[in-house]
Amino acid sequence: MPHKTAVILFNLGGPDSPQAVEPFLFNLFSDPAIIRLPNPLRWLVAKLISSRRAPVAAGIYDKMGGRSPILPQTEAQAAALKVALGSDDYRVFIAMRYWHPFADETAKAVRDWGAERIVLLPLYPQFSTTTTGSSLTDWHRAAAKAGMNLPTAAIGCYADEGGFVAAQVDLLRAALAQAETQGPATAPIRILFSAHGLPKKVVTDGDPYQMQVERSVAAMLRLLGRPEIDSRICFQSRVGPLEWIGPGTDAEIAQAALDGCRIVVVPVAFVSEHSETLVELDIEYAELAQHNGAAAYIRVPTVGSAPEFISGLARLVKHAGAFDGKPRCGSGPRPCGNAWRRCACAG
């Protein structure tokens, strides 16, 4: 018998106006998954960081029209997924972590729709405690507050899911074809797979994110089938004094430029455009590449609503497994192995 199934797309969220920048940052840095301090110390640190970073962040969002594009892009992905699921038994909702619509708003909407079961689907292909883990925790809190105790399935990760990989490789192939027409024909091409960074201590504590990024890249390179092209993994968006996982994307771009390469950058951990792609990669790092003499600099788009990616998400929803509240991973049970104790499936 069909069930009314609510699919909840998790994403980061972003400010929808200049006035929203500072409160968005406060929400981000007051998350215990991001700043691992007890309150009220975490509240004070979040208040300090958000007030200091707000003017810089406002300048970044000003380059994107004064707001983040992440919500309209997520809405487009939700609409495409609803079509791909092919049944009115499914309805797709959005729950942002740090700006509207928050999980509390979405949980009430799911309850009012009369959902009979729920599938939780992060728009983070690679699991991290700081992204998917935080969203899962926040959702369960919001659902309980809304008085919902429905059968729930959760997708923990899908780092090498076929649709995600194929969609990104299609975009990469187009960028490589473009690169081959630019710069000196003798200049080597170097692919830089760039992911958002994490403090190193988060990874050493058992967070599988870095390993899952590596798994995504390995799957993409297998499908690409161009072993003669040099490729490297790097990490962007470092903030604060802590040591972060590396190498840094900025350092790799500078080095590739000095090596006279035609640079192709793949945002391997992002599935929608936002400040890290539209400003950091497209403006700041493009200027860095040009300053250091790169033969060419091409940034591959995120997968967005690419049909293969959306089809992959639909497969994940339809094969989400038991509705017992426990996260499942797209590659099967415990794809990370027992070494990564913070994996979504470790509990």
pLDDT, mean of residues 81-96: 97
Does any domain span residue 338? no
Domains: count for the chain: 2
Angle between helices 162-179 and 307-318 (to 10 degrees): 170
User: How many Å apart are CA 59 and CA 245, to the nearest integer?
Assistant: 26
pLDDT, mean of residues 55-81: 96
Clarify whether residues 35 and 59 are in a common domain. yes
> What's the CATH number where 86 sits?
3.40.50.1400
* More confident: 325 or 79: 79
pLDDT of residue 336: 75
User: How many Å apart are CA 204 and CA 247, to the nearest integer?
Assistant: 16
Whether pLDDT at 15 is above 60: yes
Residues 190-234 have pLDDT tens digits of 999 999 999 999 999 999 999 999 999 999 999 999 999 999 999
Clarify whether residues 152 and 57 are in a common domain. yes
The DSSP symbol for 300 reads P
Residues 34-52 have pLDDT tens digits of 998 999 999 999 999 999 9
Looking at the DSSP bridge assignments, the partners of residue 90 are 5
Clarify whether residues 175 and 109 are in a common domain. no
pLDDT of residue 323: 87
User: How many Å apart are CA 137 and CA 330, to the nearest integer?
Assistant: 19
pLDDT of residue 325: 81
Does any domain span residue 343? no
Tell me the pLDDT band of 243, cut-offs 50, 70 and 90. very high
Does any domain span residue 346? no
**H helices present in 225-321, as ranges:** 249-258, 275, 286-291, 307-318
Does any domain span residue 345? no
Clarify whether residues 142 and 171 are in a common domain. no
Does any domain span residue 336? no
Whether pLDDT at 80 is above 70: yes
pLDDT of residue 270: 96
Clarify whether residues 152 and 180 are in a common domain. no
Cβ-count burial 85-113 (b if 16+ within 10 Å, e if not): beeeebbbbbbbbbbebbbbbbbbbbeee
Residues 108-164 have pLDDT tens digits of 999 999 999 999 999 999 999 999 999 999 999 999 999 999 999 999 999 999 999
pLDDT of residue 340: 81
pLDDT of residue 90: 98
Tell me the pLDDT band of 331, cut-offs 50, 70 and 90. low
Whether pLDDT at 265 is above 90: yes
Whether pLDDT at 168 is above 90: yes
Does any domain span residue 341? no
Clarify whether residues 147 and 177 are in a common domain. no
Clarify whether residues 107 and 217 are in a common domain. no
Clarify whether residues 144 and 11 are in a common domain. yes
Clarify whether residues 312 and 277 are in a common domain. no
User: Per the annotation, does 214 bind a ligand?
Assistant: no
Does any domain span residue 36? yes
Residues 270-327 have pLDDT tens digits of 999 999 999 999 999 999 999 999 999 999 999 999 999 999 999 999 999 888 888 8
Clarify whether residues 10 and 151 are in a common domain. yes
pLDDT of residue 254: 98
Does any domain span residue 29? yes
Going from the C-alpha of 129 to that of each of 137, 138, 193, the distances in angstroms are 10, 12, 21
pLDDT of residue 1: 53
Range of the domain at 110: 5-159+307-329
Clarify whether residues 273 and 312 are in a common domain. no
Q: Which residues contact 319 (CB under 8 A, 6 or more apart)?
A: none
pLDDT of residue 335: 64
pLDDT of residue 98: 97
Clarify whether residues 155 and 166 are in a common domain. no
User: Per the annotation, does 3 bind a ligand?
Assistant: no
76 exposure class (CB count in 10 Å sphere: 0-12, 13-18, 19+):
middle
